[in-house]
Amino acid sequence: MKPGETGLKRVYDATCYSIQGLKAAWKYEEAFRMEVWIMVLVIPATFFLPVTKLEQLALVASLVLVLIVELLNSAVEAVVDRVGDDYHALSGRAKDIGSAAVFVSMLLAGLIWAVILFV
């Protein structure tokens, strides 16, 4: 185990690193910014939809899941880009799989929204 802070200092440091990560995603990742703006516009609309609180939670959670997967994809892409600019099949595969994860999370969100609103 590597040495480091413990207790509340560790929680504070982890929170600061997380905020730095969110700022970096906002600054460098256009897809992240677009997804945040979609959430800012769509989540308030859920308060006016004829859905139960549990359905509303599912609608919002599906959008948050897309954002989480986008953050993970961006992290994978940053690490791959850090390794080098030259093409490598494994680097391309890692980026493609990360992108596929975002796509699948978006499909899931779309399915959840469609089922709740139209079925």
Would you write out the chain's pLDDT as a tens digit for each of its 119 residues? 567 788 999 999 999 999 999 999 999 999 999 999 999 999 999 999 999 999 999 999 999 999 999 999 999 999 999 998 889 999 999 999 999 999 999 999 999 999 999 99
Q: At which residue do the structure tokens 């899931």 appear? A: 108
In degrees, rounded to 5, the angle at the alpha carbon of residue 20 between the alpha carbons of residues 66 and 109 is 5
Return the active site residues: 70
75-104: per-residue pLDDT in tens? 999 999 999 888 999 999 999 999 999 999
User: Exposed, middle or buried, 25 (CB in 10 Å: 0-12/13-18/19+)?
Assistant: buried
Domains and CATH numbers, the chain: 30-118 (1.10.287.3610)
Q: How many other β-carbons are positioned within 10 Å of the β-carbon of residue 23?
A: 10
What was the pLDDT predicted at 1? 57
What was the pLDDT predicted at 2? 63
What was the pLDDT predicted at 5? 81
- CA 57 – CA 64 distance, rounded (Å): 10
Cβ contact 59:116 at 8 Å: yes
Q: At which residue do the structure tokens 């897809």 appear? A: 31
Element at 71 (helix H, strand E): helix 53-83
pTM score, whole prediction: 0.91
